[in-house]
Structure 1
Amino acid sequence: METTTLQRAYDVYEDRCPTRLVLDRIADKWALLILDRLDGEPVRFNHIRRDIKGISQKVLSQTLKKLERDGLVSRTVFATVPVTVEYALTPLGRTLTETVATLAHWAERNMDAVLTAQRTYDAAAELR
């Protein structure tokens, strides 16, 4: 019996596939939180920094640049004094909106179960 295989240009299971770089980016907690925060209207840099507790200015700047390079975020500069910069999701970035929100908020909804599982695992590991 002859089978037809679907040829894919990219395969995430291959170690040298460039999709791994994109997965690394969007699987990063800061990128995930930034993408989720940008769902809606454009947001200024300092507003993002205030909203995402614990992110440093350096990490926020680096992550935004990487997301912009990947085509997921756009950066708009306004000639004001001081200069105003806003970030927004691009059309490509918007394709991730539902997935990012689901993943980010899954953690909120399931944290108690995860903590319980960790305690159970740790207790069993102590008995080994």
Structure 2
Amino acid sequence: MSGFGPGDPFLSDCPARLVVELIGDISRKMLTQTLRRLQAHGLVSHHAYAEVPPRVEYELTPLGATLIEPIHMLTERGRANGDTVLDALGGDPEQGV
């Protein structure tokens, strides 16, 4: 992803580890499926290197970069109103599901 170097995001010293930590508990399979889906929708580009061990990089495309501001705004809205939403749900975030 843009701003992150290469490496295995499941290794503790990988800069892309931040993405995995932001997403939460995610398996390799689910991360791969999600990245492939984002690539199919034109939101990220994928580059594979002919190296041992294999290495790939994902980077936001210009289209993907257009989502940074709206996602940031939604994040800020969640931070500002999260407690109010939880109060409305009686403190149970699963209640609205």
Q: TM-score, structure 1 length as denominator? A: 0.54
Give structure 2 stretches of 5+ with no counterpart.
10-16, 92-97
User: Does 68-77 or 100-109 show the bigger shift?
Assistant: 100-109
CA contact (8 A) 1:49 1:55 kept: yes
Given candidates 32, 57, 60, the residue that maps to 1:89 is 60
CA contact (8 A) 1:78 1:84 kept: yes
Please give the alpha-carbon distance, in whole angstroms, between the structure 2 residues aligned to 1:65 and 1:51: 18
Q: TM-score, structure 2 length as denominator? A: 0.69
* CA RMSD after TM alignment: 2.2
Is 1:106 paired with 2:77? Answer: yes
Given candidates 20, 34, 52, the residue that maps to 1:49 is 20
**Identical columns (%):** 40
- Between Structure 1 and Structure 2, the one with more helix by share is 1
Q: How many Å apart are 1:79 and its aligned residue?
A: 2.4
Q: How many Å apart are 1:86 and its aligned residue?
A: 1.2
Structure 1 stretches of 4+ moved >6 Å: none
Alignment size in residue pairs: 82
User: Does 101-110 or 72-81 show the bigger shift?
Assistant: 101-110
